[in-house]
A and B are shown apart, each in its own frame.
Chain A
Amino acid sequence: MTRSAVPVRTPTGDRWSGWLIGAIFAGCATALMLGVYARVHHPTGAALDLAGFSSAAYAKAWVATFAAVLALVQVGSGARPHRTEAPAWTAPVHRWSGRVALIVTVPVAVHCMYALGFQWDGVRVLLHSVLGCLFYGAFVAKMLVLTRRGMPSWSIPVLGGLLFTALAGLWLTSALWLFTTKGLHL
């Protein structure tokens, strides 16, 4: 990839395109690797999970719900982070809600990949599997794009929107499904 060839302070022209394309490729590679791992790894049916919930599924559903709430904070605080009229606190709120949201999703995703794997028995399961891979791919791409100034102004909103859409889809295909079919409890 041409990452290292990209000059640092290049807000115009196609000089940012190498880094952006590299970031998107890294995101795609991440999504692909997670999907392949989840498919190739033999699902164990069980994995380490949190105590204090009625089952691993409920632990995951509640953690995912917490992440989904933080994702709403992300959209609210990320809408205008670079506008001068935005209050000063929006940037740290955006960064920290994002960090916490991402970190709490990791144990959930590891449980999915380790215990259940990438599956396609039914639309819900297939969608969830695909969105899970897409989510971390979009995250990797966004983090890499964020490291450079001068990226096209649409790149961060598009990647952020993709992250939010993926997480919302993940929540709808797992936690909401669990709460509506098995009951709303801890």
Chain B
Amino acid sequence: MTTRTPLVTLGVVAALLVLLIGANTALVGGRSGPPSPIAASAVAGTPTAGVPASAPAAAPSSPSVQGVFAGRTSDGAIPVAIAVNGGKAAAYLCDGRSVEAWLQGTVTGTTMTLSGHGGAGLTGHVDGSALFGSLNAAGQPAIPFSAAVSTPPAGVFQYRKEVNGLATRVGWVVLPDGSEAGLVDSGAARSPAPWLDPGTGTFTENGVTTTAATVTGTDTVVDP
């Protein structure tokens, strides 16, 4: 005797699979123009609509490019910005709470490889104006991310100073929509960074307004 119901179950599951892949292809993959990974991720606010094709780093395979890729990990938790200048790249990723990493590396053709202290790293490949790859903070598992060529205020910002004998460093990732994440490293302690005004690149602490440095691809962000 034969039973057909398991075949029905099988068929329903297969149909659902095909339907969902089709829906994704139609709605996510079928967008015209370059993929807009930031818009599709769970970022609040305006997407990166209208990243101009002629943005400064629109041809990142060329060795003389300058610009910023900004995006998030696939779970939306960790913003990352990568400054590229020629064949050099400097990046900062930060969730604004506890996870961060400064990364330094090179761009060869369309491949980007960066590393930081404690095994932190980022690898990606450039596809048009988008960058896809995976990254990890020190001691953390690798997470896929996507980023897109971005215009200001997107970028990597830092501020370094000795405070009370402790080397203090503040880093910020700013995304194209102005959302940001930053952390203060003072000695071994980490705390949330003050708000960085994306328009002016300044932050105010204890009534004092200070300008943060805009990181470019050739800056040294990982101390030897």
Contact = CB atoms under 8 A, between A and B. Distances in A.
Given A122-B142, A147-B6, A43 B13 contact: no
Contacts, number: 120
A77 to B, nearest CB: 16
B149 to A, nearest CB: 15
B42 A56 contact: yes
A175 interface: no
B1 A143 contact: no
Given A45-B40, A48-B23, A103 B29 contact: no
Contact of B1 (A115, A122, A149): A149
B20 A107 contact: yes
Interface of A: 8-9, 42-48, 54-57, 95, 98-99, 102-103, 106-107, 109-110, 113-117, 119, 121-122, 124-125, 139-140, 142-144, 146-149, 177-178, 181-182
Given A57-B76, A115-B74, A119-B144, A8 B2 contact: yes
B17 A110 contact: yes
A147 B134 contact: no
Given A106-B17, A107-B20, A119-B134, A147 B74 contact: no
Contacts of B1: 8-9, 149
Contacts of A144: 6-7, 10
Given A106-B13, A143-B6, A143-B7, A44 B37 contact: yes
Interface in B71-95: 71, 74-77
B92 to A, nearest CB: 19
Interface string B29-44: 1000001010011100
14 contacts: A44-B24, A44-B28, A45-B74, A46-B146, A47-B24, A57-B75, A98-B9, A99-B12, A106-B17, A107-B20, A143-B6, A143-B9, A147-B7, A178-B75
Contact of A43 (B3, B10, B20, B144): B144
Interface string B148-180: 000000000000000000000000000000000
Given A8-B1, A48-B20, A106-B13, 9 more contacts: A46-B146, A48-B27, A55-B76, A110-B17, A115-B74, A122-B141, A142-B6, A143-B9, A147-B2
A87 B12 CA distance: 28
Interface in B34-69: 35, 37, 40-42
B102 interface: no
Nearest to A107: B20
A102 B27 CA distance: 24
B41 A46 contact: yes
Contact of A116 (B5, B13, B28, B74): B74
